[in-house]
Amino acid sequence: MAEIVIKNLRKDFGDFNAVKSSSFTIGDGEFFMLLGPSGCGKTTTLRMIAGLELPTSGEIYIDGEEVGQRPASERDIAFVFQMFALYPHMNVRKNISYPLISQGMPRAKVKEKVAEVARILGIEDILDRPVGGLSGGDRQRVALGRAIVREPKAFMMDEPLGALDAEFREHMAEELRALHDRMGATTVYVTHDQLEAMQMGDKIVVMNHGVIEQFGVPQDIYDWPATMFVAEFIGSPPMNFLRFDGVAEAGRGSVQMNGHDFLVPDLRDGAKGPLVLGVRPEHVHLSEAAPYRGKVIATEYLGTTQIVTIKTPNGEIKARTGSEASVNAGENVGLEFNGNTVTVFEANTGIALRSAANERVLAHG
């Protein structure tokens, strides 16, 4: 168990700056997600925490001790890779016990530990099987077994479910989260899959181009994105952006777009020029009477809901409505937004304006 504190962490590869200046704290026992698109620096960050890569500058504290320049072997961290390599010539039991035997642990103790890990993972019945013929899920469990048997201070996982097909992946994600809840070990998990991050994480760091865009609990990141990048990266369909030129006045709970007033959470910051009203699809309501109007260009039936694509004077947006609502392409519809869920962004910087609703979230972001 360990608390991990990252301060001003930076990594350069030659002239290329892969991680700019990251600071965040991973609480003891947290399941912590590093999320972002390919190349954003999440694996590099994970490798620096594990000691597989040394930072160019900045500090890494594990349980209060600065370990940034120490090798992996001195950090007591277990790494679980996507391409989990097992020793093919050994059976399951030997694969799991190997780290303990190489530490010189007495045989009886090893046996006890392996039995305990096998019970936690539900793989007691395959302990004597060769690893060659195992299913993907069982191979993953054995790889996890080999990592957890050492009882390290923390686990680092780099897209561990990346190689599995969608259905099985979801099952393993649940299993991994349940395993974490039973063991309570600090886990840092890299993924580019926002759903996986939302589903499993206690906290999420969203990275882009080596920069932390936001850091917080999944719900805050979904409801109150700090930047347009986060608003678009999280959620499917992503947050809608209605673009307009105008003034956002501090102290007001509304903005004017195309001559219509739209309620927003009380603004703490003002801005003028190109602005963006950010609205999640489930907060767009079709209403006959609403004066702000658009034209339906497509509907997509999803079973319990449907996604309606609407052309508005401020760009195309998507609404998530009940599947029973009868909406057809070509129709002219009125649009209303839930005022207390809207985020206003400055278009040029992509940064959310502070408001009564999001300032708590942006403050620790």
Span interacting with ligand ATP, options 42-50, 193-201, 217-225, 233-241, rule CB under 6 A: 42-50
Task: Choose, by CB under 6 A, the member of 9, 33, 35, 42 that binds ligand ATP.
Answer: 42
43 near ligand ATP, rule: CB under 6 A: yes
Q: Are strands 154-158 and 77-80 parallel, antiparallel or unpaired?
A: parallel
Compare residues 43 and 97 and give the one whose CB is closer to ligand ATP.
43
Rule CB under 6 A: choose which of 36, 152, 294, 350 binds ligand ATP.
36
CA distance 92 to 105: 18
Identify the sign of the CA torsion 116, 117, 121, 125: negative
What's the closest the beta carbon of residue 9 comes to ligand ATP, in angstroms?
A: 12
> Which span sits near ligand ATP by CB under 6 A: 10-18, 217-225, 260-268, 318-326?
10-18
Is residue 231 within 8 A of residue 238, CB to CB? The reply is yes
Strand order of the sheet with strand 240-248? 240-248, 271-279, 343-346
> Which residues have CB under 8 Å from 252's CB, separation 6+?
266, 267
- Give the residue at shortest CB distance from ligand ATP: 43
Cis amide linkage into residue 225, ω under 30° from 0: no
Q: Does 326 bind ligand ATP (CB under 6 A)?
A: no
CA separation for the pair 160, 176 (Å, rounded): 10
Which two tokens mark 170?
Answer: 């979801």
Of 41 and 350, nearer to ligand ATP (C-beta) is: 41
Alpha carbon 17 to its chain centroid, in Å, reads 22
Instruction: Output the smallest distance, CB 14 to ligand ATP, in A.
Output: 7
* From 34-42, 66-74, 214-222, 269-277, span contacting ligand ATP (CB under 6 A): 34-42
Q: Does 39 bind ligand ATP (CB under 6 A)?
A: yes
Residues that bind ligand ATP (CB under 6 A): 13, 16, 18, 36, 38-44, 192
